Amino acid sequence: MRKSITLAKPIDMSTGFKDFFDTIGLTGGGLVIKGIAAVIAVISVRMLLQLSTDPKGALRKGSMAIGTLFVAVVLALYGDTLFSTVTQAKG
């Protein structure tokens, strides 16, 4: 006889969005930062898809698109840490 495997423990989500954001480990500010990073990533992919046939221009535009994608990845990974130092200033 097979034993049933529990993949996830049951979670009470009766208080709505606060419980949901707690389960995924994001606050409202963290969600905004991830959203901004996603928008920047979409813009950089669009920049990559619109490269011209001119080799010199394509190299310049492609490098800008790769740089923009790098900024989006850094913002997605470390955005909470970067902006938490700004909001917790002592003075």
pLDDT at 31: 73
pTM summary value: 0.60
Please report, as a single letter, which amino acid is at residue 18: K
> Are the C-beta atoms of 39 and 75 separated by less than 8 Å?
no
Nearest to 51 by CA among 61, 41, 43, 42: 61
**Helix locations, 1-91, DSSP H:** 17-24, 28-49, 55-87
Which tens digits make up the pLDDT trace of 52-77?
A: 788 888 888 889 989 999 998 888 88
Q: Which residues contact 19 (CB under 8 A, 6 or more apart)?
A: 11, 12, 13
Of 59 and 27, more confident: 59
Mean pLDDT of the chain: 77
Average pLDDT score over residue span 39-64: 87
Q: Where are the domains of the chain?
A: 27-87
Nearest to 33 by CA among 66, 89, 87: 87
Residues of the chain with pLDDT > 70: what percent?
69
- Give CA–CA dist 73/2, Å, rounded: 43
